[in-house]
Structure 1
Amino acid sequence: ITREMEVAAVHAVAELARQEQSDIVASAYGIQDLSFGPEYLIPKPFDPRLIVKIAPAVAQAAMLSGVAQRPIEDMDAYRQHLQQFVYHSGTLMKPIFSAARKVQMENKRIVFAEGEEERVLRAVQIVVDETLASPILIGRPSVIAHRIERFGLRLREGVDFTVVNPEHDE
């Protein structure tokens, strides 16, 4: 293990710690509002994103430093393989994500009827991160904003998604 590989692993762990927790971690640990700070400096050990983020970062560092015995030809395929291994639903969702990526982003919109719900907001974060579509959330703007902050998501109204408030008929 080279110093570059160690540094790559540390950067990958730090990046994960700053991201919002996944719903898998939230349900596994029974913690709903875990976010980066004094009480949460590193990701939880059973966070499935660890293998998906750290392994490619370390492999890339090994290739760049010249110690990789079998360089990875297609890093994206390697990441997808890891995701399928870690997330069993990945096999089911892969064709959907692939089809969504083929269509131009500016023409794709997805409406989320339960825009205030935690699972929906986490799904919207994935849609935004993967640049799959422009989400439209149905819900009260103040509630959505409060929950985005509470769950430690990186979503920004007007930038990442649009809100339709059912309490105002306009």
Structure 2
Amino acid sequence: MCRRGVSPDIARAIMRTNTTAIGAVMVHRGEADSLICGTFGEFGWHLNYVNQVLGRDGFRPHGALSMMILEDGPLFIADTQVNLHPTPEQIAEIAIGAARHVRRFGIEPKVALCSQSQFGNQGEGSGKRLRAALQILDAGNHDFVYEGEMNIDTALDPELRARLLPCNRMEGAANVLVFAHADAASGVRNILKMKGDGLEVGPILMGMGNRAHIVSPSITARGLLNVGAIAGTPVAHYG
């Protein structure tokens, strides 16, 4: 870090007092398999240290994915933390990463790009970026179902979707909701947790090879146990 304005004295102080930096360096040195942090402080603060240390190993965080366990099954929400205002390229990457992680749970992903706009009925706003992301996805060769942009209720209600968007290519209810704003994704996640009796598993920090996960200060002991189970999955089986 000497070329990033960090003097030896500052480095020593950080490595004596900053548990996130200590844990990230332990993972980098092979002294630990994974790091869980975030029970206090701001997500971006922890992400900065994780990214600076583990980025040297070729990892790059591209999104945070939360699994909400509800009465009728799991629902995945992204990106709740990492990209506050993601570009179309980032949205496409988030969708691909989310689909990959959902399969780790033995679930076939059905990804909906969610917005106030619906199949182009609003020219500007988040729908514009989601439509661009859809074009990026269409240009690739992907083995999961995705569709958008659409409202949340349209994504979750197949009958409503068939009536409003008869040319859509998704069957059944979406189980992955990808948003163009972290505010929207985080808000949906928190509403489901507080008012929908949803049990959150995560956030899962995508792109880090399962070497680091950053939770929120509101996480419970059970939530930490769930993230610990994810972190304990062998790296070879996680992305």
Q: Which has the higher strand share?
A: 2
Higher relative contact order (CA 8 A, sep 6+): 2
Give the TM-score of the pair, scaled to structure 1.
0.26
